[in-house]
Amino acid sequence: MLTLSKTNQIVVGIALTALVVMTRGHHFASINALPSASLAVFFLAGLYLRPAWVFAALLALCAGLDFASITFAGTSSFCVTPAYGFLLPAYGTLWLAGRWFAQRYSFSWKALPALGGSVLVASVLSELFSSGGFYFFGGRYADPTIAEFGNRLVKYFPHQIENLAFWLGIALVVHVAFTLIQTNHSAKA
């Protein structure tokens, strides 16, 4: 099981918050090349941060950034529809997958199938909630069909997976580095 000290959870929480602020819809420009980290942040928050209120705080942060971006930065409000609420189960799926994996965590190669499986299942469900909610309930498409939704999944889901894999890959490298440093430090003590 993965358990961090309160101090480490605070550091991780600050880092994840900063990542959302820097990448969510490119609200604060000049970092336009970075993909959105929102999906990965919810998985990582579920993995590393124990307080359940963190999930609500991250949702509020994302909604607040979206509101500020639309209200003050001139970002299009096209995606803000009655289906915006589907982000709750979309992000919740990733959060719960992170918590599920935290219970099965071990610092070994044997943990990789559980990690990969939890990320894959959660990302598919998350995409179905967010994109499906927007497509079928957002009011932007006159006659939504399952066939057209399938075409949209094929078109847009790979990009979401790329973003998720990018940030989780970085997180994995950082996690391994810190764990090895900590293990080496403990061995010398």
Kindly report whether the global pTM for this prediction surpasses the value 0.85. yes
- Is 32 among the domain residues? yes
- Is 156 among the domain residues? yes
How far apart are alpha carbons 60 and 75 in whole angstroms?
Answer: 18
- Is 99 among the domain residues? yes
pLDDT given at position 68:
85
pLDDT given at position 29:
41
- Non-local CB neighbours of 78 within 8 Å, separated by 6+ positions: 140
- Is 184 among the domain residues? yes
pLDDT, one tens digit per residue, over 124-136 is 999 999 999 999 9
- Is 1 among the domain residues? no
- Is 22 among the domain residues? yes
**Whole domain around residue 76: which residue ranges?**
6-188
Residue 41's nearest CA partner among 24, 28, 27, 29 is 24
Count: domains in the chain? 1
Which residue matches tokens 């604060």? 28
Mean local confidence (pLDDT), 31-56: 90
pLDDT, one tens digit per residue, over 88-121 is 999 999 999 999 999 999 999 999 999 999 999 9
Reported confidence tier of residue 25, pLDDT bands at 50, 70, 90:
low
